[in-house]
Each structure stands twice: as structure tokens, then as C-alpha cells.
Amino acid sequence: MVGIEVLLAALLLGFGGLGLWQLNRPLSAEGNLIVSDVPEGSVLLDARGPLAYRSGHLPGALRLWSRDLLAFEGEVPGMLASPEALAETLAALGLDTARPVVVYDAGTGEDAPMVTLVLRAMGLDAYLLRGGLELWRSNGGDVTTELPPVPRPSSATLTFDSRLLVDAEGTRRHLAENAVAPLDTRAAPLYLSDHLDGAVNLAASQLLPAGTFPRWSELDQLLERARLTRDTHPIIYGDSVAQAAQAWLALAAYGVPHIHVYAGPYQGLVAAGLPITQVVAQAATSTRTSSVCWQ
Amino acid sequence: MLAVEAPVNWLTLLSGTVVGLAFGYALQRGRFCTNTGFRDILLVRDSTLFRAWALAVVVQLLGVTALTSLGLLVTSVPPLWWAANIVGGVTFGVGMVLAGGCSSGTCYRVGEGLAGSLLALIAFGVGIVAMSQGALAPVQTALRNTVLTIDGQAMTVANLIGVNPWWVVVPITIAAGLWFWRSGRSSYRSGGWEWQAAGAALGVVGIAAWLASTASGRAYGLSMTGPLRSWFGFFFGGNPNIDWGSMLIVGLLLGAFVSAAVNRELRWRVPKGERLLQSVVGGLLMGLGAQLAGGCTIGHSLTGLSVLSVGSVVSTAAILLGAWVTAYWMFVRPSQQLERTIAQAAD
Amino acid sequence: MTTSPETLDLRGEICPYPLFESKKALEALPKGTRLIVLIDYPLALDNVTRWAENAGHTVVEVDTVGASEWRIVLERG
């Protein structure tokens, strides 16, 4: 039965080689979240603040500052605005599910990941523009101060995905079901002083250093160090939604399928009375594994 | 629109199945079973299948170390929770001798039509679920509580003695190579692969598994326990995740079936009732032990050894111990008694 | 002394009983006596014949009697 053996050997080498290629290609190959060009018929969104927008933006880009998606009047400032308020904001910009949306910021990853995340949670077909305004400029792209025509408000009904963006109650429920791995994306010293029970630390600045992506294998190493794999279901939180969104972007681009992001700052979790570990002694590296597959 | 929460894609599932097909085919043609390999050293002083296993380990060890040092693959290393490794390993070793096959051996024999292996496989799954999420879960939690690490990293033979892995891999390869060189041919009458072919093929399957599986997001190579847990969890324990490893099992069963069918070795074989019961007990012990230790003779003694995990070395030693004690008690001692009786009768 | 040899039917048996039972039966026989073993598992065929040769017995013949079914004639050495 030499035929079968040759066939199996060829298939085996083929799929082994495919794996090798997949593991070592740059992240830019991941096209379902990040785009390098603005596709025809898409809506452009500038996620930077009003001053930056006025001093120059991509032609035709509408303005949606990431801060406009937050609420500052509550007990904990910086929580994500209510789904109704978000739907209203997005409808006023004329966004609907029919056209893809491309979001950019200065290229720092400060604003665009969060706007992309919120748009995706609202069911929109949102992508992030690789490199932001900086890369656009250096590639010789046009920048204008001319304001685009005021968009016609859309009448699309947008539904909020409460699995992608979870509130404190949702976080508590996920933790109780023991199905998620809390991921703290704040800087290491903050994590070391106190964090959510059972959380591992992977700073957003490591996952998305200055808005650029590490290679697959480097990300692999980072996740390995934090005892995460693409199989774990992380629940991400940070100092702000914007910080958590950076980690979300990196993990989602990397192919982690089930990600939850806490829709508020870490202080919101503390205020909601979620179990917090106060670390007195020096850094304890967590060696207990949760859902990493050894077997 | 492109969903962010994409389920595992078809390519992942296909690649798991393909590697599984090759795995099952190689197991069936190579008559490979670590149970037989480990046991026959003691039972009939025959190391043929043990050499096949050792060759598979060495090939995979070389391949994985090379890929890792070239920066092409990042591996994950099974942890050393020594209490769980030892207790689980011994339990697994006892179970596999009773069931007449290790986890992979049991699986490919299901593909060949062995009724005893089918029962052992079902009991294996019951054992896994009981230990991972059922009544015995506290045992697992307790025994896995102490994890020994080096600087927060899983312990490997290389980082334990503080050297580059090649300092360990090269001597092992040379020693094994000399042993393979000196050992002669073994007689095969059933038309299967010789041990050299079986060992090399399984080593290559192991390397391909590391690459394809890691690319799918499952950070490990060949294994049986986790994938079986995913299926039994899927049917009986509320686990919704079917991943690369799950498809490996599907491919294995299919590959062994195809191999047995085209070589006219497919046959429904039913042993007597007593033996079926023995298979069930053995399968159950294997499931409990493998889940506790965090792997079986594939996950630990093939894949775990390829990354030099100390946990896998300890587990493999424990499995050998359990298998040898059981084989001695069940087979060696009775035949020695028989020889004595015959000698007395002759006097 | 040409009595027909004893037959041991080990079809359906799991590993390592074919080997173990053949060993037990053959070693209980006087030297030069033959034993017929029926086996239906390829690994057991390899196992039993390899053991018999290594242990100084003779594998007189191996007949394939059906799909994955063999009749082995062993002689006590």
C-alpha cells in the first residue's frame, strides 16, 4: 500500500510546513482586524482628539474621539457609556452595518484600538488602519484640514455584544463559572501591588509596543510567560478601556478566539467589590496553570 | 462581517485530522504500543518495540530542539507536579497492562476492531472526566498543588542543570544511536513495519504535530489525554471546545481503520467476558492516572520528553514502574510458579 | 509417537495473553512436541514467533488461514 503511505507522508509534510509558516509569518498577515489600506466604500474614522483632528486628518475622515465613548459623571469616571448612548453616538455619525469602518489614530495605539473594539461590540464591521496617521503620512498619503460633509444620521439598530464587552457583574459571573483567565494589562508595578484574584500580568505596552506588533513567535513567548495560549478565554482589564483595548487588539489579531474585555477602568472592578489580591511581598510568579493544555 | 469571536476554523480541524491519520496509520503499521514495548522487556526480554519508542523519542527530540533553537517554534513544557506525576504515572502503568494497551495503543486497536479496546477507551474517558471535573477532582487539586519550577519556568533537564538543551540532546542521541546500531534485526512475520521505520515515522509525525498544533493555538504536540478529555467533556461534561487535539483522535481512529482495512487486518475481535472486565478496569485506571499525571505514554513519554520536561521524565519512570510491577505480578510470577511445578513433576 | 498436536485457540484475546498462554502451554510440553496456536492479531503473531525463536523453540510453520487469522505450529525446543 505504497500509494497511501506516500499520500499520508505528503499530507503530513504539507500540514507541518503550513504550521511552520503560520507560526513565523508577521502579524500583518492577519487581515480580519487590521488593514493597510482604506477599502473602497468604507467609512473613515479619526479616533484622536478634536485639536489633533483639526490640525490635519485623512480626507473624508469623520471624527469620533475615543473619550466620547466614555462616561465621566458616574461614581467611577471612565466607564464605557451605556449601550443606548453608544448607539446614539454611532447613529449620529451615520454608521451602519452595511459599510465597513476603518479607524485610525496618530499611530500610537492610544485611541484607535478602543474605538475599533467598541464598534465591533456594537456589531459594526470595523478595522484598524495599520500605523495610523504617521504611517499614512510617511507613505505620502494626503492629509487635509477640510471638514467632510455632515453625515446623514443612520437609522440602523445596533445591538451591543455583552460577551465581548462585559461589566463588573459580567466579570464576576465569568469568574464564578471559572471559564476565564483574568488578564491585567497595567504596568507591572501596579499589578504587583494589587490585582484581580487569579489575574496574570501582560502589560499592554508589551503586547503592542508603540502601536506595532511583535512577531507571532514573540507573542507566543509573551503569552507562554503569562501562561496563556490561544485556547484560554481571557478577560482583559486595564487602567482604562483604551489600555485593555490595546491588549484586545493584539490578542484578537493573534487569533485568540474568545476574548472578554472589561468595559471600564480597573478602579471600577475594585469599586464593584470583586475579589482583589493585595500583594505585600515581592513579585510572586504564578506557576499554577489554569487552562494550558499539556496532555 | 468578520466575527472577532471566530470558532476554531476548518483548517485547524483539517490539519489535526491529517496528522491524526498519519499517526494512526504509523501506529497500526508499526504495531506500536508503548505498553507492549515497556512490558516485553520484562516479560520475554524482547526490546524491539522499546527501541521503536526510543527512536521516536530521539527523532522528535532532535527535531523539536532544532526548531526551537532556530527560533521557529516556541514549545510549552509540561510542569513538574511530582506527586501527581508519580501517583498518576504508576496508576496509568498498572492500568495499561491490565487493559493490554496504552492510550494510543487502545485507540488504534479500536480502529482495528478490538472489542476489549473499545471498552477500555470508554472507561478511559470516564476516568478522565472523574478525575478532571468529577468526584475525584479534589485528589487532582491536592496532588497538583506543589509545582516545582526553575525561575518560574517549567523544569526541564536542561534548565535544571543550567545548560543549553543541546548539551543534553547530543549525548542522548549518541548513546541511543550506538544502541540502535548494535541491535540487530528483529523478526516480523505479520508484514508490519520494522521498528526502525515505525520509530522514525512516529518521530516525524510528532514534529509535524508540534508545528501544526501550535499554529492552531494549541501549545503542545502529540497527546491523547487532553484530546480524549475534550471529546468526553464535549459529550458528558459541558465542554464546547473542539480543537486541534480533538481532531487528532478522529484522525487516529480513521487512520488505524484505513490501515487495517487496506492490509486486510480489520476484524471484529471479542475476548471472553473476564478479559472484557479486565479491559474496563484497566481503561478506568489509565484514565484516572493519565489525567492526574497530566499525560500518558504519548503526552509525557513521547512529546514531553521531546522538550526534556522533568515532569515527563518522572511520569515515564512511574509508568514503567507501574507497568513492570503489574506485568511481574500477572505474568512473570505465574509462569515461574508453573516452571517450578513442571520441574518438581519431572523429579 | 505421532499423536496429533494440541490446539490452543487464542483468537480474540488481548495483548499479552496470546504470548503468555502460548508460552505457558508450550513450556508444559515435553521436548519435541508440537503445539498449534490460533491467533487473530498481527502484533501477537510477531510477538509469539519472535519469543519462540529467541527462547530456543522452533516455529515450524505459519499459515494465514483467513483475514488477519493465523495458524502457528510451534515445536518445543
pLDDT grade, residue B71 (50/70/90)? confident
Chains A and C touch (3+ CB pairs under 8 A): no
Chain-chain contact of B76 with A229 (C-beta, under 8 angstroms): yes
> Please, which residues bridge with residue C64 across strands?
C70
Query: For residue C64, is pLDDT > 50?
Result: yes
Q: If you measure CA to CA, which chain B residue comes closest to C43?
A: B31
Evaluate whether B208 touches B22 at the Cβ level (below 8 Å): yes
Chain-chain contact of C16 with B186 (C-beta, under 8 angstroms): no
Tell me what ipTM this predicted complex has. 0.89
Does B114 reach chain C within 8 Å, measured CB to CB? Answer: yes
Of the candidates A120, A123, A230, the beta carbon closest to that of B217 is on A230
Q: If you measure CA to CA, which chain B residue comes closest to A20?
A: B211
pLDDT grade, residue B145 (50/70/90)? confident
Q: For residue B264, give the amino acid letter.
A: R
**Residue pLDDT, tens place only, B81-110:** 999 999 999 999 999 999 999 999 999 999
Segment among A168-172, A225-229, A244-248, B38-42 with least mean pLDDT: A225-229
Which of the following is catalytic: C7, C9, C12, C15? C15
- Helices A216-225 and A241-254 pack at an angle, to 10 degrees, of 120
Share of chain A above pLDDT 70, in %: 85
Chain-chain contact of B36 with C16 (C-beta, under 8 angstroms): yes
Chain-chain contact of A8 with B255 (C-beta, under 8 angstroms): yes
Long-range pairs for C25-32: beta carbons < 8 A, 24 or more residues apart: C26/C52, C26/C57, C26/C74, C26/C76, C27/B335, C27/B338, C27/B339, C27/B342, C27/C76, C28/B338, C28/B342, C29/C76, C30/C76, C31/C76, C31/C77, C32/C75, C32/C76
Segment among B234-238, C22-26, C34-38 with least mean pLDDT: B234-238
Over the Cα atoms of chain B, what is R_g?
Answer: 20
Phi, psi (deg, nearest 5) at residue A144: -135, 160
Set of cell numbers at residue A103 = 479607524
Chain-chain contact of A125 with B1 (C-beta, under 8 angstroms): yes
Produce one character per residue of C13-48: b if its CB has 16 or more CB atoms within 10 Å, e if not.
bbbbbbbbbbbbbbebbeeeebbbbbbbbbbbbbbb
**Residue pLDDT, tens place only, A45-81:** 999 999 999 999 999 999 999 999 999 888 889 999 9
Of the candidates B106, B127, B96, the residue with the CA atom closest to the CA atom of residue B253? B106
Count CB pairs under 8 A between chains B and C: 102
How close, in Å, is residue B160 to chain C by CA atoms?
38
Query: For residue A141, is pLDDT > 60?
Result: yes
Query: For residue A23, is pLDDT > 90?
Result: no
* CA B60 centroid distance within chain: 14
pLDDT grade, residue A268 (50/70/90)? very high
**Residue pLDDT, tens place only, A79-116:** 999 999 999 999 999 998 888 999 999 888 889 999 99
* CA A3 centroid distance within chain: 48
In this prediction, residue A54 carries a pLDDT of 92
Of the candidates C50, C62, C69, the beta carbon closest to that of B46 is on C50
Question: What's the predicted TM-score (pTM) here?
Answer: 0.71
How close, in Å, is residue A75 to chain B by CA atoms?
31
C37 is catalytic: no
Share of chain B above pLDDT 70, in %: 96
Which residue has 524482547 as its cell numbers? B46
**Residue pLDDT, tens place only, A151-201:** 888 888 888 888 899 999 999 988 887 668 899 999 888 888 889 988 888
Per-position DSSP letters for A66-121, written without gaps between them: GGGGEE-SSSSTTEEPPHHHHHHHHHHTT--TTS-EEEE-SSSSSSHHHHHHHHHH
Does B208 reach chain A within 8 Å, measured CB to CB? Answer: yes
